[in-house]
Structure 1
Amino acid sequence: MTSPVYRRSYGVKGAPYAHPSPTTLRRARSAPYFFLLPAGLLFALFFALPIGYAVFLSFRKVHVSGLGLGAGARSEVWAGFENYTEAFKDSELLQGALRVLGYGCIVVPVMLGLALLFALMLDSERVRLAPFTRLAIFLPYAIPGVVAALLWGFLYLPDVSPFYYVLQKLHLPQPNLLDGGPLFLALSNIAVWGGTGFNMIVIYTSLRSIPAEVYEAAKLDGATPLQIALRIKIPMVAPSLVLTFFFSIIATLQVFNEPTTLKPLTNSVNTTWSPLMKVYQDAFGRNDIYSAAAEATLIALVTLLLSFGFLRAANRRNKRDVSQGDAR
């Protein structure tokens, strides 16, 4: 008599083996979903649900009756796209977006250029103390953004900075890095200092995955180290460059810690210097969570559109390069 769970049959050579029952197969198919259930619940509770609630609030507003006094004087009503229309007309939000655009034009190319340069140098055969150098370049990324901004903020202050003391002793100009145009350089320096190490590790890991036979063939053809770097290494780590550029764009559009931390040290940084600072000011300064939700949704949509457009353009270029290579 066969077991209710397994049904005995015979293979080609007559050796018996067991077939799982339908109940066992159903349990095996459903097992991955049980493993994914905790992560799915956490994603829904702490990511999807807050986003959905913020989108819901962006279509609401507070209606004030009379003088706004009494229990029923203030009520939440449907606003439609009114909050989004006001956000598009908000000059402070537009000015913050322009500031972030200028900030990103400095941060992204400088940070990725340094990350690529450091990765190529660490991948060189003549490099010494490579583990220590990698750790030294990556270490700033491990420092929290607020701590890094405070550290550089005090280094920018003329009264406490050792750099200004040295410039004074050498009778050299002492620029005010917390005022006017130099403020963009000061904020960009903090981001570059903290983010270069992470991007360098991503690119360096991609470089280490290139087969050694590729380098040997290039050397046999008479390629110099510079030619190998420009014509082999950089093209082959293009996907890593796309990934780091994608992350850098998202981080630039969400800049908040650096200007918020430096705000008490200078009058050049106001409460709406960046779009996220404007969202924070509206939500907790003006107590208008509905306008803040609409602005946050717009920032998320702009980030999504820019990221999707960039990734699509990069994929189209990769397909074109592959098709040209196949044609050759």
Structure 2
Amino acid sequence: MSSETLTAPNAGRVAEATRPQRGPLRRQPNWRRRQALKGAAFTLPFFAGFALVTIIPIVIALGQSVFQEKQSGLGLGKGELVFAGFDNYLRGLTSEVFWVGMLRVALFGAVIIPLSLVISLSMALLLDAVTGRTAKFFRTGFLIPYMVPGIVATLIWIYLYSPKVGPLTPFFEQFGLNINFFAPGSVWPSMGNIIVWGGIGFNMLLMYGSLRAIPRDIFDAARVDGASEFRIAWSIKVPHLRGIIVLTTMLSIIGSLQMFNEPQLFRTVSPQTVSADWVPVQMIYNQAFVANDPFYAAALSVILAVVVGIASFIFYKFTNRPVES
């Protein structure tokens, strides 16, 4: 018997064993693809809502902003829709009223945002320091303002500010103070109090969550080294909150530039102090629903969105830097 006949079966087995197994390799990508599709399916409700309330309105606003309604003859009846190009944008960019309102909310935010963040940070540090039933008491009390809708909170505070039915004016009169919360010199502090009261709970919740993520061993080691609670908070806790402080500040900047509820409701009780175009969003609202010019309002909305985006980008650019050791 020759050696070739002895090695032939072995050669066939070796060839079969070394042959690429294509079946499992084909099934594995399909399995992964199905798993990825199943995971992506859970995000469909979010993306559908995001497209419905964000993307589609942006597209509609961009489309409307380049049109104008021209009246013919005596101006009676429905006007003709004509392409205006960038005329609405030019009108908005040169509007003194719009930019005065933008400056007004910018100065307001420069005061109220740091104050709100300092209070939120203090509350988060306090909540992180207490334990047991005390922690539950403070946690519930601090979160109540966050759970109240913004417009409801504004209505409540307007009632409290009212010199006729509110309790605050008689309370201050007991100390010889005659305070009018709707006066020109008091309207901004009155609004600022409402915004701080309603926003500190959300910011505190984010900061408190970041504090709870810090390993407790770090604090124990610092206490062993003789560090006080204030030193631990200032040198360990606050530096760990740098990222969340940047996030909450950026969200506060966006919110302050788009404030609407407070000045709009204050206008109903003090129209001589708060004008119809006091802040940019008020001007956009009046152009769309009072002046019946949705095309100009759409252009103003786009300009405001660009300003908010630029302000957020600049702030994030200068604050999102690695901490030097």
In structure 2, distance between residues paired with 1:210 and 1:32 = 30
Tell me what 1:3 maps to. Answer: none
Counterpart in the other structure of 2:98: 93
Matches for 1:43-54 after TM superposition, within 5 Å = 43-54=50-61
Q: Which structure 2 residues correspond to residues 191-270 of structure 1 after superposition, within 5 A?
A: 191-266=195-270, 267-270=272-275
1:70, CA displacement in angstroms?
5.8
Which residue, 175, 182, 187 being the options, matches 1:178? Answer: 182
- Give matches, 1:1-328, under 5 Å: 21=27, 24-25=30-31, 27-28=34-35, 30-69=37-76, 74-125=79-130, 129-170=134-175, 172-266=176-270, 267-315=272-320, 317-318=321-322, 321=323, 324-325=324-325
The amino acid across from 1:75 in the alignment is E
Counterpart-to-counterpart distance in 2, 1:175 and 1:88 = 38
Distance in structure 1 (CA, Å) of the matches to 2:43 and 2:146 = 31
Contact in 2 for aligned 1:121/1:127 (Cα 8 Å): no
Q: Which residue of 1 aligns with 2:10?
A: none
Distance 1:143 1:125 in 2: 25
Alpha-carbon distance in 2 for matches of 1:87, 1:34: 42
Structure 1 residues 112 and 127: alpha-carbon distance in aligned structure 2, compared to 1, 3 A threshold: farther
**CA-atom RMSD, angstroms?**
2.3
- The Cα shift of 1:82 comes to 0.9
Task: Look up the SS of the partner of 2:129 in the other structure.
Answer: coil
Task: Work out whether residues 169 and 180 of structure 2, in 8 Å CA contact, stay in contact via their aligned partners in 1.
Answer: no
Greater C-alpha radius of gyration? 2
SS in 2 for 1:123: helix
1:150/1:262 contact within 8 Å kept = no
In 2, the alpha carbon distance for the partners of 1:29 and 1:160 equals: 60
Check 1:70–1:185 CA distance in 2 against 1; reply closer, same or farther (3 A cut): closer
1:243-284: CA deviation from partner (whole Å, max 9, x where unpaired): 111111111111101111121111211211110010000000
State the alpha-carbon separation in 2 of the partners of residues 250 and 223 from structure 1: 38
CA-CA distance at 1:192 after TM superposition: 0.4
* 1:63–1:77 contact (8 Å) kept in structure 2: yes
Q: Give the Cα–Cα distance (whole angstroms) in 1 for the partners of residues 25 and 105 of structure 2.
A: 63
In structure 1, the gaps of 5 or more residues are: 1-8, 11-16
| Residue 40 of structure 1: how far off its partner (Å) | 3.1
Secondary structure at 2:181's aligned position in 1? coil
Q: Match of 1:272, as an amino acid?
A: D
- Aligned-residue offset at 1:27: 4.3
Counterpart residue type for residue 292 of structure 2 = N
CA distance, structure 1, for counterparts of residue 202 and residue 89 of structure 2: 36
Give CA deviations for 1:1-21 in whole Å, capped at 9, x if unaligned: xxxxxxxx99xxxxxx96653
Normalised by the length of structure 2, the TM-score is: 0.86
Which amino acid in the other structure matches residue 54 of structure 1? A
- Write the distance in 1 (CA, Å) between the matches of 2:30 and 2:172: 77
Residue 4 of structure 1 aligns with which residue? none
Q: What TM-score comes out, normalization by structure 1 length?
A: 0.85
Q: Is the 8 A contact 1:62 1:76 kept in 2?
A: yes
Q: CA deviation at 1:63?
A: 2.1
Post-superposition offset of 1:143? 0.9
SS in 1 for 2:259: coil
Residues in 2 aligned to 1:34 and 1:291: alpha-carbon distance in whole angstroms: 39
Measure the CA separation in 1 of the matches of 2:181 and 2:61: 37
CA distance in 1, matches of 2:286, 2:248: 30
**CA offset at residue 136 of structure 1?**
0.6
Q: Distance in 2 between matches of 1:28 and 1:116?
A: 41
CA distance in 2, matches of 1:33, 1:200: 32
Aligned residues: 303
Aligned to 1:181, the other structure's residue is in SS state coil
